[in-house]
Structure 1
């Protein structure tokens, strides 16, 4: 898999705010975790299972953050894992850890810089 091409397409899809395009990258039974999901949808505990759950989370995120924008800083590729490190519209450093099977993301984890100076508000 061409990790650079995937990361560029992923970023462009997010910046378009077109959830159908974003969700095309994910398997139907994907599992995704995020501390932001835990904040926006506390009943999830930050763990989302399936594309439908991702859509609910990301629709709410885009509703609350209409200026959402990502800028890729670096990517790290493994055998079946890609890490996309980027800055969001607030300048927060974020990394998405994505595990693939058959060309689709089956597991994703949104991770944020830890500390008081992080605009995302994640605390250690």
Structure 2
């Protein structure tokens, strides 16, 4: 599978910035596994691990309700063999990485929201 990381990132950020959860989820497999410390804060019972597209829709819809000013600016896109990393700034100016692994069908099968550690160097 040849992965067009730049095109994917454009679709991803457009979906997020228009608050269109379904547009973002269109790129995710039904059995996706997603981890995020924000999910752990919002839904402590998950320990930050979201399993399946239905649960991911619930998490992301809740996040958009909680953060109505959510907006991302992509700073960089990195491509691996079956992985894309999108480095972006959120609505608070904080750096975040979305690490996404793709299956043979071109859909995301695993994702991880990762956040810059406070006090860490940004250079």
**TM exceeds 0.5?**
yes
| TM-score bin, normalised by smaller chain | over 0.9
Residues 1:88 and 2:79 are matched in the alignment: no
Alignment: residue pair count: 117
> Cα deviations across residues 58-108 of structure 1 (Å, max 9, x unaligned)?
111000100100000001100100000000000110000000011100000
Q: Give 1:116 deviation, angstroms.
A: 4.9
CA–CA distance in structure 1, aligned partners of residues 118 and 84 of structure 2: 24
* Counterpart pick for 2:22 among 20, 23, 36: 20
Using CA pairs below 8 Å that are at least 6 residues apart, which structure has the higher relative contact order?
A: 2
CA RMSD of aligned residues (A): 1.0
CA–CA distance in structure 2, aligned partners of residues 52 and 37 of structure 1: 14
- Which consecutive unaligned segments of at least 5 residues does structure 1 have? 118-124
TM-score, normalisation: structure 1: 0.92
Which residue does 1:114 correspond to in 2?
Answer: 117
Which residue does 2:58 correspond to in 1?
Answer: 56
* Counterpart pick for 2:72 among 50, 70, 95: 70
- Which consecutive unaligned segments of at least 5 residues does structure 2 have? none
Which residue does 1:36 correspond to in 2?
Answer: 38
Which 4+ runs in 1 deviate beyond 6 A?
none
